[in-house]
């Protein structure tokens, strides 16, 4: 190991921090004292972890990205197109506030097509069709079983599920700590 010594450095400030990051990324490791700085060569750089606080907006985006990754992997792996899950951001009737909804294709199809077999008449010969929510619930149970089976056989789906759970947990804990005492609305 070769060592080089530099004299006259009395402390590391902002410029020193930038230099140390540059040296670290270039494969150099730096140790400092009051009189000298020793630089020695490091073979490999494993990982740099930077700790800081993200805004709640960025944490919500992380949750959405993780959710999109789950549905992308699941949609490729599942056995039926009716189990494909798609997310949209839309405003409900009477408001301009957009909300994110993720629905499987069978729910979208059942709620938009009254002639579908999962719709039943409301107990009379004529009148509006209403969705057969028992049929929808049974399909949801089948979808959950398929996702569970696929996550046990495909590690990429399991990894996406774990990343999503971690992102949701981080968002929930940060929301508690950042919004403490700020009332109902907190959008840091």
pTM: 0.61
List of the chain residues with pLDDT < 50: 1-34, 117-119, 121-122, 124-125
Per-residue pLDDT reduced to its tens digit, 31-80:
444 455 555 655 666 777 767 778 888 999 999 999 999 999 999 999 89
Q: Which residue has the tokens 């709640």?
A: 56
How is the chain split into domains, by residue range? 3-41, 56-178
- DSSP-derived pairing of the beta strands 36-41 and 3-7: antiparallel
Q: At what angle do helices 133-153 and 56-77 cross, to 10 degrees?
A: 90
Gap between the Cα atoms of 148 and 119, Å rounded: 28
Would you give the end-to-end CA distance of the chain in angstroms? 48
DSSP string, 113-153: -TTSTTEEE-SSSSS-EEE-HHHHHHHHHHHHHHHHHHHHH
pLDDT at 34: 47
């Amino acid at each position: 190991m070769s060592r080089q010594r530099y004299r006259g450095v009395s402390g590391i400030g902002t410029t020193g921090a930038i230099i140390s990051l540059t040296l670290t990324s270039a494969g150099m490791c730096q140790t400092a004292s009051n009189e000298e700085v020793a630089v020695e060569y490091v073979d490999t750089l494993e990982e740099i972890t930077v700790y800081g606080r993200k805004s709640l907006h960025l944490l919500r985006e992380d949750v959405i990205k993780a959710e999109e990754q789950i549905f992308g992997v699941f949609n490729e792996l599942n056995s039926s197109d009716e189990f494909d899950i798609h997310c949209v951001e839309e405003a409900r009737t009477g408001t301009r506030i957009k909300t994110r909804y993720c629905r499987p294709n069978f729910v979208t199809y059942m709620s938009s097509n009254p002639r579908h077999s999962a719709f039943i008449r409301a107990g009379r010969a004529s009148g509006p069709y209403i969705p057969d929510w028992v049929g929808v619930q049974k399909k949801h149970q089948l979808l959950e079983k398929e996702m569970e089976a696929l996550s046990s056989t495909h590690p990429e789906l399991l990894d996406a599920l774990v990343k999503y759970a971690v992102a949701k947990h981080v968002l929930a804990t940060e929301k508690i700590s950042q919004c403490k005492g700020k009332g109902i609305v907190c959008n840091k």
